[in-house]
């Protein structure tokens, strides 16, 4: 049996296991997933997908960019690296809570919260290269699936390389807690807790 055939059989076997009611399942094959399951990034829809072990293995080779009919799925890495201060003001983004994602096509996008919802900016390639020159670990980021996550609001000084699913979690907290024009009394303490709970991991 070929490696591809064995992998397909593994996925079918996983899909045959029925999840308990209300349990989280793989978004690709509907197999049950563990609490610490992997995530895939759908570059076509800019969405995060839960993945069982078999499906995460299938899309593990991000260099090949395995495709799917409704988008391109890439396995999201799990590493987190705390960085020294990065001069993000030079990147032209006028907010203190923001994440920057280098893309496979060489572009860089930035996204942060606002009273009107998430705001998105295009970062100039030259500005990003200057940031990378000042902070060499940024050059190790995997396109589309890792981000530079920054929080300098209220005197904080957080600069991290994180998987993009951490950024989606952060935005979910903002959506849940934001009140009024400035975020209200609940959102910023929730953000402080979010960043305090980030831990480095390889």
Domain-ending residue, one of 75, 103, 124: 75
Domain for residue 25, yes or no?
yes
Domain count for the chain: 2
Domain-ending residue, one of 50, 75, 100: 75
Domain, as residue range, for 100: 81-196
Whether residue 100 sits in one domain with residue 155? yes
Paired tokens of 78: 């799990």
Whether residue 103 sits in one domain with residue 142? yes
Q: Structure pTM? A: 0.84
Whether residue 63 sits in one domain with residue 106? no
Whether residue 89 sits in one domain with residue 172? yes
How high is the pLDDT of residue 189?
93
Whether residue 103 sits in one domain with residue 52? no
Domain-ending residue, one of 49, 75, 101: 75
Domain for residue 168, yes or no?
yes
Whether residue 183 sits in one domain with residue 95? yes
Whether residue 86 sits in one domain with residue 30? no
Whether residue 103 sits in one domain with residue 146? yes
How high is the pLDDT of residue 180?
86
How high is the pLDDT of residue 17?
52
Whether residue 119 sits in one domain with residue 59? no
How high is the pLDDT of residue 140?
97
Domain for residue 129, yes or no?
yes
Domain for residue 58, yes or no?
yes
Are the C-beta atoms of residues 72 and 66 closer than 8 Å to each other? Answer: yes
Domain for residue 165, yes or no?
yes
Whether residue 66 sits in one domain with residue 87? no
Contacts 24+ apart (CB under 8 A), 54-58: 54/7, 54/10, 54/11, 54/13, 54/14, 54/29, 55/11, 55/14, 55/26, 55/28, 55/29, 55/31, 57/7, 57/10, 58/7, 58/11
Whether residue 34 sits in one domain with residue 102? no
Domain for residue 201, yes or no?
no
Residues of the chain under the 50 pLDDT cut: 1, 3, 6, 62-70
Paired tokens of 8: 């397909």
**Phi, psi angles (nearest 5°) of residue 196:** -65, -30
Whether residue 121 sits in one domain with residue 50? no
Domain for residue 45, yes or no?
yes
Domain for residue 10, yes or no?
yes
């Amino acid at each position: 049996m070929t490696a591809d055939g064995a992998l397909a059989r593994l996925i079918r076997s996983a899909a045959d296991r029925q999840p308990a009611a209300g349990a989280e399942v793989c978004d690709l094959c509907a197999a049950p997933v563990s609490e610490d399951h992997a995530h895939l990034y759908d570059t076509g829809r800019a969405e995060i997908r839960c993945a069982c072990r078999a499906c995460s293995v299938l899309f593990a080779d991000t260099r090949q960019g395995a495709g799917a009919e409704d988008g391109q799925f890439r396995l999201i890495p799990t590493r987190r690296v705390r960085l020294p201060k990065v001069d993000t003001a030079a990147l032209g983004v006028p907010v203190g809570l923001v994440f920057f994602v280098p893309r496979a096509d060489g572009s860089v996008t930035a996204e942060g919260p606002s009273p009107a919802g998430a705001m998105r900016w295009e970062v100039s390639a030259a500005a990003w290269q200057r940031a990378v020159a000042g902070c060499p670990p940024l050059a190790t980021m995997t396109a589309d699936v890792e981000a530079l996550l920054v929080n300098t609001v209220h005197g904080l000084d957080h600069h991290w390389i994180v998987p993009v699913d951490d950024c989606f979690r952060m935005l979910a907290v903002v959506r849940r807690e934001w009140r009024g024009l400035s975020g209200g009394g609940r959102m910023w303490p929730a953000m402080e807790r979010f960043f305090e709970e980030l831990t480095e991991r390889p």
